[in-house]
Amino acid sequence: MSLPSIGFLQRLSLIVMLGVSAGAVLSWGVLRSRLASLRDVEPHRRLQRLLFWTACPAAAGLLMAAVGLAPSWLHEIGVGHDHCHTPSGHVLELCLLHTGHLPTSSAIGWGLIGLVVGGVGLQWASDLQKLGHAHRTIQRLEDVPRTDASESQPYQRLAVDEPIAATLGLLFPRIVISEGLLETLDASHVDAVLAHESHHADRRHGLLCWSARLLSRLHVPALQSTLLDDIELACEQIADRRAAEQVGGPVPVAEALVEVKQSQLDRLGATMTPPSSMAFDEHRLERRVRDLLETEWRTPNLWPPAVALASGGFVLAAHEPFHRAMEMGLGVFW
């Protein structure tokens, strides 16, 4: 097997881009008509399905790379025959792995790669800038006098009047609750808030949401914000339900949500914006409370569509005519 050449890397990049584009179009076509139907699906299963579709473009890009590379790699390990040396009218110079036959590169190909990578890269740079801003917010909170967490008090108590209850950090999340909020809530509501934030920390929902944000940038722009909003809402609803299980029912959790929101409204003139404020926007809060108290969830099985798509991907990767057709299609760039 030859060492990769510039032409090989360019063709592989184009194949991945083709797969990502196909996955983005497929996700947009499916979700634009069916996203609303997920609203009454049990939050944990809804989150699984949303994450599945969020990762679809990236997975499709990897699948296309596998389709391009699998035949020659299988030949290298002694499985199957060398597809390039069979008399079937195959265009040898477009083979991905026999790189000695490849031209060095194509200006059209590099232009297309630069355009796409530049567009996605700018969005990722903006996301990383927001992550840096969130990190600086956490650092400012670190400067606030606080009581460290312990077994009897599994959260850090902030000596501030602003109503703050949040799970901070991605890899090693920790819970912070302000004295201002503790003075506002009674003991049962504090337990509900703590149970809610503990589930965020245990499941690392912050890391999950930021990973989903980066993957969503491969989607059609019109779908990106909708996917992220629904994923964040599902995480909040999952934590609400787990809190309800721990405190003996949904009513204390719903009451705590309303009280936290009211305490934030009472301090709109505060100089510090609570890190948890996005979880308490009016529309999202109303839906969370209603779903806690009233909604009967559907529990559809995620596995059939996932297995069907995975099986279809395997068939494509193993289907040599598809591999050849893909190579032939790349010839438009040279």
Residue 5: per-residue pLDDT: 64
Among residues 266, 318, 261, which one has the least CA distance to residue 66? 318
Residue 271: per-residue pLDDT: 44
State whether residue 199 is helix, strand or coil.
Answer: helix
Token code pair at residue 243: 């809190």
- For the chain, residues with pLDDT lower than 50 are 1, 87, 89-93, 270-275, 277-278, 334
Residue 56: per-residue pLDDT: 92
Residue 272: per-residue pLDDT: 46
Q: Where are the domains of the chain?
A: 6-297+310-333
Among residues 226, 16, 44, 194, which one has the least CA distance to residue 116? 16
DSSP 280: G
Q: What is the pLDDT of residues 49-77, one digit of tens each?
A: 999 999 999 999 988 887 777 666 666 66
Residue 30: per-residue pLDDT: 87
Residue 79: per-residue pLDDT: 64
Predicted TM-score (pTM) of the model is 0.79
Taking CA atoms, 65 is separated from 16, 191, 227, 240, 244, in Å, by 6, 49, 26, 40, 45
Which residue type does 63 have?
L
State whether residue 81 is helix, strand or coil.
Answer: coil
Residue with tokens 């301090």: 267
Among residues 135, 137, 157, which one has the least CA distance to residue 272? 137
- Torsion, Cα 234 237 243 244, to 10 degrees, reads -140
The strands making up 146-147's β-sheet, listed across from edge to edge, are 146-147, 156-158, 174-178, 165-168
Q: What is the pLDDT of residues 105-150, one digit of tens each?
A: 677 777 888 888 888 989 889 888 888 877 777 667 666 665 665 5
Residue 161: per-residue pLDDT: 81
Residue 110: per-residue pLDDT: 78
Residue 101: per-residue pLDDT: 53
Average of per-residue pLDDT values in the chain = 78
Residue 129: per-residue pLDDT: 87
Burial string for 295-317 (b: 16+ CB within 10 Å, else e) reads eeeeeeeeeeeeeebeeebeebb
Alpha helices (H) in 218-281, listed in sequence order: 221-247, 250-265
